[in-house]
Amino acid sequence: MLGLIVVIAFVFYFLIWVSVNAQLQAVKNGTLPVPAGGTTQLEQTLRQIAPDRVAQFGVSVVAGLGSVMLIVFAASHVGTEFGWGTFRTLLAHGASRSGFLVSKAVSLVLYAVVFMIVGSIAAIAASYTVSAVAGISPGSGVDFAEVARVAVKSGYTFLPYMALALAIAVWSKSAGAGIATGLVVYFAESIVAGILVSLNKDYAQIVNWGLSRNASALTRTVSGQAGPTSQDPTASTLPDPTQAAIVLGIYCAIFLVLAYWRLRSRDVTVGG
């Protein structure tokens, strides 16, 4: 999975350059008509691959893919223990149920941290490489502090989704159920929340207690002008970032407590 995110980062940067550059060339050659606002927007898009934009662009790409990949990983990390029957074997050899859950949760957090570190480094490397190939100015270079800040916030937003996938995997004793539920909540909730707030901003009072709106609030940059939600017309109704962090933390705790409660009370027969 770590190797995959490195490859994806490079491929993504390369594809952006190739596709935007091809459009620019086509406009210059007259193959494509000149857009209404000229080529400024295309050139701005091309600028996104410059190293000074890694915090806003590259890390966001890594975070977007990472959330999906880590939901899959979290559910598999726990669900396979039931599928293989190794949970039962571990318990029979003296492992405690709480120890099992804590070790799984800690390893998932560590994996998310490693994932964001590797993903961010890959985004930086891809940005420098493709910029050099494309002849794009690196500008002021990478703002490592900003990259770290965005990466930490993005990584934090993964945690409740991972905890949800873990809890469902424990309840259902199935990696598939954890993956499906985690992904459905991840995609469907943000779509439904977006539609509701677009229809009536008062709905924000309700949907702002969900996962997606709080995750979006947290991943906005300080200026609120860039980052994954910069294009969101409902961004002004997002909750306060501090409140968002607290709500996401509470969700993590709730999901882990539910997982522990089920794990503790379950009779472990065949498998788990």
Partner 1 sequence: MTVQPQEVVLRTKGLAKRFGSITAVDGLDLEVRRGEVVGLLGPNGAGKSTTIGMVLGLITPTAGTAEVLGRDVGVRREDALAGVGAMLEVTSFYPYLSGRDNLAAVALLRGGGALARVDPLLTRLGLAQRGGSKFRTYSLGMRQRLGIASTLLADPALVILDEPANGLDPAGQREIRELIRELASENRGVLLASHLLYEVEQVCDRVLVIKKGKLIASGTLAEVTRGGSSYFEIVVGDKARAAQILRGLGVKEIRETPTGLDVVAEAERGAELNRALASAGVYASALIPRASSLEDVFIELTEPEAPSAPPAS
- Residue 269 binding partner 1, by CB under 8 A: yes
Distance (Å, rounded) from C-alpha 232 to C-alpha 238?
Answer: 10
Is the Cα dihedral 96, 115, 60, 80 positive or negative? negative
Q: Is 262 in the site for partner 1 (CB under 8 A)?
A: no
Q: Which is nearer to partner 1, 57 or 260 (CB)?
A: 260
208-227: which residues touch partner 1 (CB under 8 A)? none
93 touches partner 1 (CB under 8 A):
yes
Q: According to the binding rule CB under 8 A, does residue 258 interact with partner 1?
A: no
196 sits near partner 1 (criterion: CB under 8 A): no
* Closer Cβ to partner 1, 128 or 260, answer by number: 260
Q: CA–CA separation, 159 vs 251, rounded Å?
A: 9
Instruction: Tell me if 261 contacts partner 1 by CB under 8 A.
Output: no
Candidate residues 25, 41, 44, 86; the one interacting with partner 1 per rule CB under 8 A: 86
Q: Is-contact 208 214, C-beta < 8 A?
A: yes
d(CA 242, CA 219): 11
What's the CA gap between 56 and 62, in Å, rounded? 11
Which residue stretch of 68-76, 93-101, 120-128, 129-137 sits at the interface with partner 1 (rule: CB under 8 A)?
Answer: 93-101
H helix and E strand count, the chain: 10, 0
Instruction: Build a one-symbol-per-residue string for 30-69: x at contacts with partner 1 by CB under 8 A, - elsewhere.
Output: ----------------------------------------
Among 41, 89, 107, 137, binds partner 1 (CB under 8 A): 89
270 binds partner 1 (CB under 8 A): yes
Q: How far apart are the C-alpha atoms of 257 and 244, rounded to whole Å?
A: 20
Report which secondary-structure segment, H or E, holds 232.
none
For 46-90, the DSSP string reads: HHTTSGGGTTTTHHHHHHHHHHHHHHHHHHHHHHHHHHHTHHHHH
Contact region with partner 1 (CB under 8 A), list: 83-91, 107-115, 125-133, 140-148: 83-91
Task: Return the residue of 42, 90, 192, 258 that touches partner 1, per CB under 8 A.
Answer: 90
User: Binding of partner 1 at residue 3 (CB under 8 A)?
Assistant: no
| Residue span 153-192 as binding mask against partner 1, x where in contact by CB under 8 A, dash where not | ----------------------------------------
Cα separation, 192 vs 188, in Å, equals: 6
Write the CA distances from 63 to 44, 88, 196, integer angstroms: 22, 34, 25
Tell which one of 84, 144, 187, 261 touches partner 1 (CB under 8 A): 84
Q: Is 91 in the site for partner 1 (CB under 8 A)?
A: yes
What is the amino acid identity at position 26? A
Binding footprint of partner 1, residue count (CB under 8 A)? 18
Nearest residue (CB) to partner 1, 44 versus 103: 103
Residues 244, 214 contacting (CB under 8 angstroms) = yes
Interacting residues with partner 1 (CB under 8 A): 84-86, 88-96, 265, 267-271
